[in-house]
Amino acid sequence: MIKYETDFSYDEAITLIKHPKHFRYFESRNENIFNSHLYHVLVKDELSYVGYGHLDAELNKLWLGMCIFDSHQSKGYGKAVLNHLLNIQTIYSKINLTVDKENIAAVNLYISNGFRIISQTDKIYYCERNYNV
């Protein structure tokens, strides 16, 4: 069973997340930004932490970030965490994210759950999803 834990510190988050390859969010975000999140969550199964996710309002847009820790990937947690994050808020009508083009698992996850690519650089897709899809 998945549990969602919302009461944790910046230090706890970055210790657990440890900058996996495709999740660079905390390389350039400090504790002040962490504390200003609309929502953040650590995800647990019966035995251990399996992932992290957040919703961050920045520049008038809502941004989603998430990662499933290495040894827990491809077991359905990503889909569960994405759906959890999509059901948290009712203020914004759209939600945005960026994803590395080479991160095939994440691109598949987002596109199959209603996100569409709205722009891109050579390495990154910018994606958006309407809440009423």
Ligand X SMILES: CC(C)(COP(=O)(O)OP(=O)(O)OC[C@H]1O[C@@H](n2cnc3c(N)ncnc32)[C@H](O)[C@@H]1OP(=O)(O)O)[C@@H](O)C(=O)NCCC(=O)NCCS
Q: Which residues bind ligand X (CB under 6 A)?
A: 20, 22-23, 66-68, 73-79, 99, 103-106, 108-109, 112
CA quadruple 69, 80, 62, 125: dihedral, nearest 10: 60
Which residue has the closest beta carbon to ligand X?
Answer: 78
Residue 104 DSSP label: H
C-beta of 70 vs 90, nearer to ligand X = 70
Question: Is the CA virtual torsion 57, 109, 46, 23 positive or negative?
Answer: negative
- The CB-of-103 to ligand X minimum distance in angstroms stands at 5
The nearer residue to ligand X, 90 or 114, going by C-beta atoms, is 114
**DSSP symbol at 70:** G
Task: Give residue for tokens 């958006």.
Answer: 128
Closest approach of ligand X to the CB of residue 21, in Å: 7
**84, 4 Cβ separation under 8 angstroms:** yes
Q: How far is the CB of 65 from ligand X (least distance, A)?
A: 7
Q: Give yes or no for a contact between 110 and 99, defined as CB atoms under 8 angstroms apart.
A: yes
CB of residue 67 to ligand X, shortest distance in Å = 4
| Short-list 104, 31, 38, 35, CA closest to 65 | 38
CB-wise, 41 or 109, nearer to ligand X? 109
Shorter beta-carbon distance to ligand X: residue 90 or 122: 122
